[in-house]
Amino acid sequence: MMKRELICIVCPQGCHLTVTEENGSYKVTGNTCKRGEVYGVKEVTAPRRVITSTMKLQGGRLPRVPVKTNGDIPKELIFQCMEEIDHVTVTAPVKAGQVVLPNVLGTGVDVVATRTMGMV
């Protein structure tokens, strides 16, 4: 039997979860809602994260634009994803929500700008 204590990061309430596994089936306790149960099982089987970072910006008012993935990606790809983001330079103007790096690492998830940035 496996038992893990986690804090749910799906919403700011931060419920303390206990995930137990026995014979391949998972049980989550401590969650206030269904999303916590889904998160708990996912976290112990295939953890994923949304990545936030900044990307180089050419011709903009600032040298970098804030970005994030528009979905979660496997936790083991976080550093590779950060490297990919670091290798891209986007040209101003950029609109919030604009895809600046599609299908990062073949995950089906895009990196999007989170702030509109005009030209100099």
CB of 32 vs ligand SF4, minimal distance in Å: 4
- Alpha-carbon distance of 61 to 102, in angstroms, equals 24
> Does 14 participate in binding ligand SF4 (rule CB under 6 A)?
yes
> Does 11 participate in binding ligand SF4 (rule CB under 6 A)?
yes
- Alpha-carbon distance of 107 to 18, in angstroms, equals 29
Q: Site residues for ligand SF4, window 24-83 (CB under 6 A)?
A: 31-33, 35-36
Phi, psi values for residue 97, rounded to 5°: 95, -10
| Count of chain residues binding ligand SF4 (CB under 6 A) | 11
Nearer to ligand SF4, 10 or 41 (CB): 10
First to last CA, the chain: 59
